[in-house]
Amino acid sequence: MNLLNLDKLPKQDSMLIFHALARLGYEGLVIVSPGQPLASIGYFQDAEKEIDLDYCKEAGISVMRREVGGGATYLDENQIFYQVIWNSDNTKFPRNIKEIFQYLSFPPCETYGKFGINTSFRAENDIITDSGKKIAGEGGGDIGNSMVFVGGILMDFDYVTMSRVLKVPDEKFRDKIYKSMEENLTTMKRELGQIPPRAEIKRVLVESFEKILGRLEPVEIDDGTIQKIREIEQWFMSDEFFHKKTPRIPQGVKIKEGIEILYGLYKAKGGLIRSAEEIENKKTIRDIVVSGDFNLFPKDALGDVENALKNKDFEQNIIKEEVEKIYDRKKIESPGVAPEDISKTITEAK
């Protein structure tokens, strides 16, 4: 397998790189940091519900949707990202998604440990310190014939900007978010009182990954990869892709008699689930959109879940059974999010 050990790439290029390499059939590890601030949302999230887009525009912060799950986050040069890419048929990697996350979390955990921070993997997709504070979040997804796994070493973190990037109902709630992050999210700087040299962190991280992946052969970024980044950038930064989970409910138009729009919100073990559904006569689902910060494989199967629920009875057991059928037929894996969680989100919507 290969090693693409990069320094900093401009804004969204630091995320587009693994999307491009997956499409090119690359197998190996990428180490990279963004040269400028960037906000990123998970594949299944609704941009307009998760990110304060007006603030990001005013602050000059680029925003993009990535093709892996997880939540909205703020990225900058104080984070070193590890991106593992492999062919889905590669037998070196576990087949079970939950096992993949634990397997590929060993190197970052060992890296933190080498610098004196004891950490462990916490299902479904976090790395935490001995005191229970989160020090890394991770996500994964399928891109064509490839699988990708992405996480980051937090050298330092801008809690203030992160709290501004997130969409919140009011400033009081924003203060609550900021305080919660300060209490529950930590960094190397907070744990050690200083930031170890970037080059040393990267060296240890690569060596740790080699313990499970084998010898990594250093390669350089080539013209083909750069060309692919520029090619997919047009789609990734388009309104159609960026706003793809936003339900297009007409504004200023009275919903006809017997039709109501309900919004669901439920925190499952594997992440937050949102739903927006059009219900007729309080008993039939006419249309539905499901979003959230969970991980789901294969990623396009969420659309099959939504389609299976259209014109079905608005009743929890029926919804659960329909979702279970799709999970079985499409072989869906969503660590920490079960069909029962999805049905509960929908039927308890307000």
Residues 273 and 319 in one domain: yes
Q: Which residues contact 240 (CB under 8 A, 6 or more apart)?
A: none
Q: Which residues pair with 34 in a beta bridge?
A: 9
Q: Is residue 76 part of a domain?
A: yes
Question: Could you say which of 184, 215, 242 is where a domain stops?
Answer: 242
Give, in degrees to the nearest 5, the angle at Cα 336 between 331 and 342. 75
Residues 233 and 301 in one domain: no
CATH assignment of the domain containing 308:
3.30.390.50
Residues 282 and 227 in one domain: no
Pairing of strands 73-75, 38-41: antiparallel
How far, in Å, CA of 105 to CA of 127, rounded?
8
Q: Is residue 249 part of a domain?
A: no
Residues 289 and 148 in one domain: no
Residue 204 structural domain:
2-242
Whether omega for the bond prior to residue 124 falls within 30 degrees of 0, making it cis, is yes
Residues 232 and 263 in one domain: no
Q: How far is CA 225 from CA 20, 83, 312, in A?
A: 7, 15, 45
Q: Is residue 247 part of a domain?
A: no
Question: Could you say which of 217, 242, 267 is where a domain stops?
Answer: 242
Residues 139 and 274 in one domain: no
- Per-residue pLDDT, 251: 44
Q: For the chain, how many residues are written?
A: 350
Q: Is residue 69 part of a domain?
A: yes
Q: Which residues contact 8 (CB under 8 A, 6 or more apart)?
A: 14, 32, 33, 34, 35, 77
Residues 44 and 79 in one domain: yes
How far, in Å, CA of 190 to CA of 241, rounded?
37
Nearest-Å Rg of the Cα atoms of the chain is: 20
Give, in degrees to the nearest 5, the angle at Cα 222 between 216 and 223. 160
**Residue 223, both tokens:** 């013209």
Residue 180 sits at φ, ψ, to 5 deg, of -65, -40
**Residue 13, both tokens:** 């290029």
- Per-residue pLDDT, 255: 53
pLDDT by residue for the chain (350 residues), tens only, comes to 999 999 999 999 999 999 999 999 999 999 999 999 999 999 999 999 999 999 999 999 999 999 999 999 999 999 999 999 999 999 999 999 999 999 999 999 999 999 999 999 999 999 999 999 999 999 999 999 999 999 999 999 999 999 999 999 889 999 999 999 999 999 999 999 999 999 999 999 999 999 999 999 999 999 999 999 999 999 999 999 999 876 655 443 445 678 888 999 999 999 999 999 999 998 999 999 999 999 999 999 999 999 999 999 999 999 999 999 999 999 999 999 999 999 999 999 98
Indicate the DSSP class of residue 184: H
Residues 8 and 123 in one domain: yes
pLDDT digits (tens, 9 = 90+) for 99-134: 999 999 999 999 999 999 999 999 999 999 999 999
Whether 12 contacts 233, CB under 8 Å: yes
Q: How many domains does the chain have?
A: 2
CATH assignment of the domain containing 190:
3.30.930.10
- Residue 126: which H helix or E strand, with range? strand 126-129
Q: Is residue 298 part of a domain?
A: yes
How far, in Å, CA of 133 to CA of 117, rounded?
11
